[in-house]
Amino acid sequence: MSDEFSVKLLTGLESVPQQQWNNLTDGSNPFVKYDYLFGLEQFKCLDGHGWSPRHLAVYADTTLIGAIPLYLRTNSTGEFVFDWSWADAYEQAVGNYYPKLVSAIPFAPVIGPRILVNENNPVRNQIRAMLAKQLVSMTKESELSSCHALFTAELDHVHFQQAGFMPRLTCQFHWQNKNYRDFDDFLDTLVSKKRKQIKRERKQVNDQGIEIEVISGKQITEAHWRSYYPFYSSTFYRRHGEPRLTPEFFQMLGNKMPDQTMLILAKQGNAYVAGAFAMLGQDTLYGRHWGCNEQFPFLHFELCYYQTIEFAINHGLQTVDAGVQGEHKIARGFDPVAATSYHWLRHAGFSQAISDFLRRETIAMNQYLARLAEQSPYRQTEPDNIRHE
């Protein structure tokens, strides 16, 4: 490690100047911004869910010049790169799998940078390589089972690979804006059956007397957040237990990141009946959380897919990120995307076993992605419409 730099382990971001952290990013991805990550800590979103901040930071004198958002994990919930079978096998063969180190955005399976360095720094690649290697050293010195970097941006890949991490592919679903003039222009690119299906679904929502409100952070009031939060919470109560994000966290996003915060609310009569939350990047709309107080046919598709697509077209955004899982998204115009995560395991024998498994899994995942691509609803598709990010 260069004598010019010092590496520190941060148990929270409260000691880091906001501007120094944000200087490490280009601002295109809202989830690595200071307000978002510090808000998770400040408003108790991580408490009780097995995410303890252990951010890895590099300083030149007192100036932050590089970082990895990092967490000590006591479970794998909220990661969306599923390693529970690894944990079971590790604990039977070796010992405790948890705690482990994970670089990810808690509860949000979004592709983005995990090694944060200002692109104008002339030694940026040296800093990135140092951070990736330091992550391995930290895992060894702490005698932890493993470290993981989830949903990594392409710029990070070479540095994790050179540090000895193993890649793993998973599938996401993204919609791509092909310079559509409006929503009807998008529909015109679909085969007749899928085009008519979407029109029927949107009409049925409208026929139920449901009105849709798309509200940006500057216009979101406390009353809007109070209406939305029970919808968000209800999804967790039905499937995952306690909600992760707190009301105070959502309100903070609307206040401190208004240009990147959005609510899509559905109203029937005078009452809101459902809502979806999204974040705006430079060229991507990230659909995140949805919920409702009763079931309305196709309302989920309207709020989470059709409204986000329409918004992206109207505002010149390139991509709608609808997250992981859900092959039904393909029929609504979303493409399969291969997302890459990286993994390093301390035990040599277990690491070799995982390496063998990942080689087989990668073959199967590429075959799966190819099969999904064959289900494309578009009238004409490019020869290879599977993108790797």
Shared domain check, 187 and 298: yes
Alpha carbons 145 and 30: distance in angstroms, whole number: 30
What's the chain's average pLDDT? 94
- Over the stretch 66-100, which tens digit does the pLDDT of each residue have? 999 999 999 999 999 999 999 999 999 999 999 99
Shared domain check, 139 and 57: yes
Which CATH number characterizes residue 381's domain?
3.40.630.30
- Over the stretch 25-41, which tens digit does the pLDDT of each residue have? 999 999 999 999 999 99
Model's pTM, two decimal places? 0.94
Asked if residue 103 is part of any domain, the answer here is yes
User: What is the band of 386 on the pLDDT scale with cuts at 50, 70, 90?
Assistant: very low
Give yes or no for a contact between 117 and 24, defined as CB atoms under 8 angstroms apart: yes
Alpha carbons 278 and 261: distance in angstroms, whole number: 6
Asked if residue 330 is part of any domain, the answer here is no
Alpha carbons 368 and 362: distance in angstroms, whole number: 10
Alpha carbons 53 and 114: distance in angstroms, whole number: 14
Alpha carbons 379 and 389: distance in angstroms, whole number: 24
Asked if residue 332 is part of any domain, the answer here is no
Alpha carbons 70 and 106: distance in angstroms, whole number: 10
b vs e for 84-97, b when ≥16 Cβ sit within 10 Å of the residue's Cβ? eebbebbeeeeeeb
Asked if residue 46 is part of any domain, the answer here is yes
Asked if residue 132 is part of any domain, the answer here is yes
User: Among the residues of the chain, which ranges form H helices?
Assistant: 18-22, 34-42, 84-93, 124-141, 154-162, 183-187, 192-207, 222-239, 247-256, 299-301, 307-314, 348-373
> Angle between the 247-256 and 34-42 helix axes, to the nearest 10 degrees?
150
Give yes or no for a contact between 337 and 368, defined as CB atoms under 8 angstroms apart: no
Q: What is the pLDDT of residue 238?
A: 80
Query: If we measure between CA atoms, which residue out of 139, 296, 152 comes closest to residue 212?
Result: 296
Q: What is the pLDDT of residue 385?
A: 46
Shared domain check, 275 and 218: yes
The answer, yes or no, to whether residue 1 has pLDDT greater than 70, is: no
Shared domain check, 358 and 283: no
Q: What percent of the chain has pLDDT over 90?
A: 91
Query: If we measure between CA atoms, which residue out of 323, 266, 268, 273 comes closest to residue 107?
Result: 323
Domain that holds residue 227: 178-317
Asked if residue 323 is part of any domain, the answer here is no
Shared domain check, 197 and 285: yes
The answer, yes or no, to whether residue 358 has pLDDT greater than 90, is: yes
Query: If we measure between CA atoms, which residue out of 76, 70, 75, 74 comes closest to residue 13?
Result: 70
Shared domain check, 361 and 224: no
